[in-house]
Structure 1
Amino acid sequence: MVGLLVALFSAVVYTIGLTVEQRALHGSESISINRPLHLVRVLLGNPRWILGCAFAALGSVGLIVSLGLAPVSVAQPAFAAGVATTLLIVTLVRGERITRGEYVALGVMPVALGLLGLSTVDGATTGTTANTPLLVTVSVTTVVACVTVMYLVGGGGRYVSAAAMGAAAGLAQGSAGLQGKGLGGLLADNGLWAAVVPALLSPYPYLYLLGWGVGIVLFQTSLQRSRASITAPVANVVGNVFTVVAGTLLFGESLPEDPLTLALRVGGFALTLVVVVLVRGNVAQAEADTSRLRGEPVRTE
């Protein structure tokens, strides 16, 4: 239960960072993954974006800690659900319109979190070590595939929707999430200071930076084209599924043996995925609204 609470608190901190980043991006020059140097210059030259990025990074560190305290099938969905719910609340507070499906998502998320919390009552198995060669292979292949597909799809100036870019960002961030699980395991097994040397000697921090770097470029571009309550759930749900499935296998975590507890875990995980169905239909409208807000032509391709 502690890991679940840490994941939820981290989600709130992460969401604060996303909100600040979004406001900074909507007031900055247009960025594109096809112009990486210009993209870096725009982002790093924006103090508000850097502040938001710092909060998001702090939330990511909290997720790493939670992954060492709870099974990946609990901590990761709880974090994704917390981000999605908090973003919708922020959207409502700012007076922006949300769809009926998004209202339903606000009601679904507490239920999903409740089911995940109940599924940890009888003692969950938390894996802390992985098959390192297989982890490296899966992580590198995933990130390379994301970059390659986005390059091919967006080649020749073709338009890539915020939702598609958010999904690719989710996969890259999911790869980083696997490294976060590994780092969280080292923290749980060795303690903070004793884990420093093993962490530096492991591939986790370096693969984390690779996945995080690719993910942030894709996500920030999608974030500028739409609003966070649309793109973040898409990225989080895709990354969530990838991290939970791959992490459970790579770290040898077993699902609960009790049928009721297993049903609670699976049900809670499934409900966190429902959010992508609830928000996906409003992506095009959100992109159009954002383009008008920024004074840009509305893209319909």
Structure 2
Amino acid sequence: MTGLLAALASAVVYGLGLAVEQRALHRCAAISVRRPLHLARVLFGNPRWLGGCALAAAGSVGLVVSLGLAPVSVVQPAFAGGISLTLLVVALLQRQRISRGELAALGAMPVALLLLALSLGPRDAAAGTTADLPLLLAVSAVTLVVCAGGMAVAGGGNAPAAVMGSAAGLAQGVAGLQGKGIGGLLADHGIVGAVGPVLLSPFPYLYALGWAVGIALFQTSMQRSRASVTAPAANVVGNVFMVVAGTAVFAESLPAEPLPLALRALGFALTLAVVALVHRAAGRVEEETARQRATALPAVS
């Protein structure tokens, strides 16, 4: 239960960071993954975006810790659902127009989190801390190649924001696998004792690579749309990837009893339903965002 609560707290911090980033992105020059130096200059020259990025980074650190405390099949859906819930609440507080699908998703996510919590038992609560390193490296390499293809398509300027968000989710999933590896070393060796093993492992370096690819795609997609639309796409795709790949790579077992297994499967399925509910609003939100940016920044190209 500690890992689940840590994941939820981290998700709230991460979601608030995304909300701050979104406000900064909607008020700055247009960015594109085809112009990485311009993208970096616009983002890192924006103090408000940097503040949001710091909050999101704090949430990511919390996720790494929680992945060392509970199974990935519990932590990752809870984190993804918590982010989506936070962003929809922020959108409501800002009086943005929310579709019925988004409202349904808002109601479904707490239920999904409750089911995941009920699926935890003393026999399966332990998290896997040791990765199958060859499998981890192979999965990471193949996924990043797929994401590189997504960046090439996105660079043409025709990819919808939700598609770019989904590609970002894969890259973030690769980073998440490395984060779980780091979390496992922290759980096994403690904070001080884990410094050497972490630096000698491939985890921090692959984490940085996955983060860099993911942030380029995600920030571009979020500028074109709203965080409550693009973040669920990224997080649910990353969620599926992390649960499937992480469970295999770290040899974590699912609940052995039928009822906890059914509860976890249903909770996981509800987090996937979020994408279908929210995605229906993606086109409308992207058009609204483009009109708002054209009005606010008529001179920006």
SS in 1 for 2:171: helix
Name the residue aligned to 2:181. Answer: 182
Distance 2:270 2:159 in 1: 28
Distance 1:257 1:284 in 2: 42
Provide closer, same or farther for how the CA distance between residues 217 and 56 of structure 1 changes in structure 2, counting only shifts above 3 A.
Answer: same
CA displacement at 1:52 relative to structure 2: 0.5
CA displacement at 1:158 relative to structure 2: 4.4
Structure 1: stretches of 5+ with no match in the other structure: none
Distance 2:122 2:264 in 1: 12
CA displacement at 1:159 relative to structure 2: 1.1
Residue by residue, what CA displacement relative to the aligned partner does 1:36-83 show, whole Å, maximum 9, x if unpaired?
111011011101111110100000000000000000000000000000
Distance 1:210 1:198 in 2: 19
Paired amino acid for 2:31: I
Name the residue aligned to 1:82. Answer: 82
Distance 1:210 1:163 in 2: 22
Paired amino acid for 1:122: P
Name the residue aligned to 1:101. Answer: 101
Paired amino acid for 2:52: G
The number of aligned residues is 295
Q: Give the TM-score taking structure 1 as reference length.
A: 0.96
Residue by residue, what CA displacement relative to the aligned partner does 1:120-161 show, whole Å, maximum 9, x if unpaired?
13332311001112201211221122112330x245x44111
SS in 2 for 1:192: helix
Correspondence 1:214-229 to 2 at 5 A:
214-229=213-228
Name the residue aligned to 1:139. Answer: 140
Name the residue aligned to 1:110. Answer: 110
Moved over 3 A (4+): none
* Identity within the alignment, %: 65
Distance 1:149 1:95 in 2: 33
Name the residue aligned to 2:3. Answer: 3
Distance 1:88 1:234 in 2: 13
Distance 1:123 1:217 in 2: 40
Name the residue aligned to 2:120. Answer: 120
CA displacement at 1:211 relative to structure 2: 0.4
Provide closer, same or farther for how the CA distance between residues 154 and 268 of structure 1 changes in structure 2, counting only shifts above 3 A.
Answer: closer
SS in 2 for 1:191: helix
Name the residue aligned to 2:245. Answer: 246
Provide closer, same or farther for how the CA distance between residues 232 and 221 of structure 1 changes in structure 2, counting only shifts above 3 A.
Answer: same
Name the residue aligned to 2:206. Answer: 207
Deviates further, 103-112 or 227-236: 103-112
1:285 aligns with 2:290: no
Q: Give the TM-score taking structure 2 as reference length.
A: 0.96
Distance 1:234 1:2 in 2: 27
Residue by residue, what CA displacement relative to the aligned partner does 1:95-126 show, whole Å, maximum 9, x if unpaired?
00111011111111111001100111333231
SS in 2 for 1:295: helix
Distance 1:10 1:149 in 2: 28
Asked whether the equivalents of residues 21 and 52 of structure 2 are also in contact (C-alpha less than 8 Å), the reply is yes
Distance 1:122 1:63 in 2: 21
Deviates further, 240-249 or 101-110: 101-110
Distance 1:154 1:83 in 2: 24
Distance 1:126 1:210 in 2: 25
Name the residue aligned to 1:62. Answer: 62
Distance 2:206 2:67 in 1: 17
